[in-house]
A and B are shown apart, each in its own frame.
Chain A
């Protein structure tokens, strides 16, 4: 046992860059021996990790309740579809516009509600999510195609080749995912990131320290929403059919659980959460009709046993547990 502890400690002391490179290599190599179905599962896992990270900025860092996040995912997908179908913009080129549109809506929607506290923010975001979904279903402005959604979106074209097979989409996704992870890590350690965490821990104190809490919260929403829009566009390019179902409340709930159950406030937490909420249920199809019940049991059980999630950031964990895990101060700061 002691030697295992030592090895583990030594491994962790290794430069985290090596860990990350190792994971990237694993991610690149992983789908090669798999069948198309499992490659699709990997793709979907990656998509949800990206979505989870986008929500993680809002919920994990800034501590804001956002239960309508799937709306921006849907908006990104619809933007991509509309640009592609009506203006023949190649799917890959629509990506920046999708991000901007989703971010813009994020700004519009959250600007008036930033002053609301926790539970009210929760309800209002649910309401906004439903309004977006219903507007899409009711074919607002006649362009959203109603409950049937839009179809016929062109596949992304890279170097003259249209990406069809799941594995290509997976690599495209991986590319964006790696960028996302690096960006989020940068954010975590930046002034903005710390400002978010102060706001999360104690908003009044943060305001007293001179942080413009309104601006900071707004930035969290805008960034998170924009990123969700990017994920939506990638989805549109792969499945080529989109519908208002993407903005439904259940999606937002799953994303929320991914962030909180996996581990609040930490990036690895999002990975674990996605595995638990997305990949595992997909691979456990035989459970069929009882899957929802199991999900519910998992949610309740997890919250009772470990409310900070499976792999939380140390700060959040300490805050919730009120205990010191590490003997030295140096380790605690080293998060």
Chain B
């Protein structure tokens, strides 16, 4: 009896999709969002959705785009490349005009192949792996900066402002952190800094006392941690508990108030953070408006720089559609390559994009955590 049911189940599951036809809302402009809503990066992915949905709702309330409502189609890739390939296919089939996503480079890469073959405009908010823009995809863009820009900045800051001679670099083996660490190392060595310590932590750990003990004993002028704020906070906390005297620099994934919460204020004071400027430090109001709106809608400010990047990506698409009055991916892509310049972005001024799709310019600044637990701009910035 069971076997018959199983057979029926088998046949039904396979044929059901072909029998079901999806009802499509006519007349909307569909924008796709591919993000890790579940899995290891759920925190970031869910933030993506919040940021983009806020902007979509605002757009629709203001009358939509080109007179049509914007429909946001969100797909979960769980940060996994296989899932990414599948959901990319789904978004293509759903007839979206452009896609924002994904979060991690491992997921963005297979998805970008599929979007490229479908000719869709594809903007990633946060995937910084260099090779994504080396494939010659005409419609692929980034709103985040490549790791090498931040690495260069970090090296300059260490040398020019902190006067570092013996430098340590610590990453966590993730694509983003490792890439940033490698670039920082390269630039630092070119500038004559001695990178005396270069290692990686395991982000799933909570206890970093072994590696910290090593760092403490290694007589380094500063250590640059390129990983994420959860581990950054633990590193700071345990540094304090071990009573070690380490000067910490951290990358833009540690640009998050939770860093201080996890570390404990007394352990976090004096830490340097290299990052894109915070909205409060930008000279135009659009960024702060976004932060205020986000807080009004969700009860908390956008705590991760990547969430802001996701919002940024949507704004770029919206801008392109408004300016070109078109939803043709080819037209939009050409517009972004050739004519989009000097936009007031949430994450800082957008100078434009190069022919590979990378964001131009470099706008990183160094922050330091003060006694009030605030990120303040460091008085000295390298040029």
Contacts and interface: CB of A to CB of B under 8 A. Distances in A.
- Do A and B touch directly, given a CB cutoff of 8 Å in the complex? yes
A38 B109 contact: no
Interface in B59-116: 75-76, 80-82, 85-86, 89-90, 92-93, 105-106, 109-110, 113
Given A38-B17, A245-B81, A289 B37 contact: yes
Contact of B175 (A138, A146, A292, A306): A146
Contacts of B26: none
B14 A30 contact: yes
Nearest to A166: B89
Nearest to A283: B17
Contacts of B129: 148
A41 B88 CA distance: 12
Interface in A125-148: 137-138, 146-148
Nearest to A34: B18
A285 B173 contact: no
Contacts, number: 102
Main secondary structure of the interface of A (DSSP, over half): helix
Interface string B29-60: 00000000110001000000000000000000
A4 to B, nearest CB: 9
A241 B81 contact: yes
Given A8-B4, A138-B173, A241 B93 contact: no
Interface stretch (A93-101, A113-121, A170-178, A272-280): A272-280
Contacts of A280: 13
A239 interface: yes
Interface in A230-246: 235, 238-243, 245-246
Contacts of A40: 85-86, 89
Contacts of A30: 14-15
A272 B10 contact: yes
A310 B37 CA distance: 31
Residue in B37, B80, B85, B105 whose Cβ sees the most chain A Cβ within 10 Å: B85
Given A240-B110, A243-B81, 20 more contacts: A8-B4, A30-B15, A40-B89, A41-B86, A146-B173, A148-B105, A149-B106, A151-B131, A166-B89, A239-B81, A241-B110, A245-B106, A268-B3, A271-B10, A285-B75, A285-B76, A288-B38, A289-B37, A291-B38, A292-B38
7 contacts: A38-B18, A146-B173, A151-B131, A166-B89, A283-B17, A288-B38, A289-B38
Interface of A: 8, 30, 33-38, 40-42, 44, 137-138, 146-149, 151-152, 164, 166, 235, 238-243, 245-246, 268, 271-272, 275, 279-280, 282-283, 285, 288-289, 291-292, 306, 310-311
Top 3 nearest A-B pairs by Cβ distance?
Answer: A37-B89, A148-B175, A37-B93
